[in-house]
């Protein structure tokens, strides 16, 4: 099997700056065992609407294939404390078909890194 990541690996880092503008909603929540992220906006590469969400973990989830979807991931660095930035590594998850995109992967293949402040989950 060919490496499905080849396409986007060549462009790693290229879209980070633009993604900071086009991804309008980037949220990470940490607290009480809840560690999640949510990012919504437009893909910096194809300009289609894209959304990504998942669980923040202590490991980088980029390239994971849970549930057949590869949206990206986020991780908390060792020793992370509230107020510290959280790194998200996301992949375009738009609903459009991109014939030139990586095979078997949703979206156009663009990967981008975003940094956000985590807010603590509120305990009811």
Residues that bind Zn ion (CB under 5 A): 43, 45-46, 48, 92, 94, 96, 107-108, 110
Structure tokens, 108: 């156009």
Nearer to Zn ion by Cβ, of 38 and 80: the residue is 38
Q: CA 50, CA 71: separation in Å to the nearest integer?
A: 10
Q: Compute the Cα dihedral for 45, 47, 52, 57 and give only its sign.
A: positive
Task: Supply the minimum distance, in Å, between the C-beta of residue 124 and Zn ion.
Answer: 37
Task: Supply the minimum distance, in Å, between the C-beta of residue 5 and Zn ion.
Answer: 15
- Assign 89 to helix, strand or coil: strand
Task: Supply the minimum distance, in Å, between the C-beta of residue 8 and Zn ion.
Answer: 10
Nearer to Zn ion by Cβ, of 73 and 107: the residue is 107
Nearer to Zn ion by Cβ, of 23 and 118: the residue is 23
Nearer to Zn ion by Cβ, of 19 and 43: the residue is 43
CB contact at 8 A, 123 and 110: no
Q: What are phi and psi of 30, to 5 degrees?
A: -135, 135
CA terminus-to-terminus distance, the chain: 48
Task: Supply the minimum distance, in Å, between the C-beta of residue 63 and Zn ion.
Answer: 17
């Amino acid at each position: 099997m060919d490496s499905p990541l080849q396409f986007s690996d060549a462009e790693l880092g290229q879209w980070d700056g633009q993604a900071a503008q086009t991804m309008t909603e980037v949220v990470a929540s940490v607290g009480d065992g809840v560690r999640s992220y949510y990012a919504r906006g437009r893909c910096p590469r194809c300009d289609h609407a894209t959304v990504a969400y998942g669980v923040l973990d202590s490991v980088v989830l980029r390239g994971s294939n849970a549930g057949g979807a590869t949206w990206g991931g986020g991780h908390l660095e060792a020793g992370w404390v509230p107020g510290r930035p959280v790194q998200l590594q996301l992949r375009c998850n738009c609903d459009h078909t991109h014939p030139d995109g990586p095979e078997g992967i949703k979206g156009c293949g663009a990967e981008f890194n975003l940094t956000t402040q985590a807010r603590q989950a509120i305990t009811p």
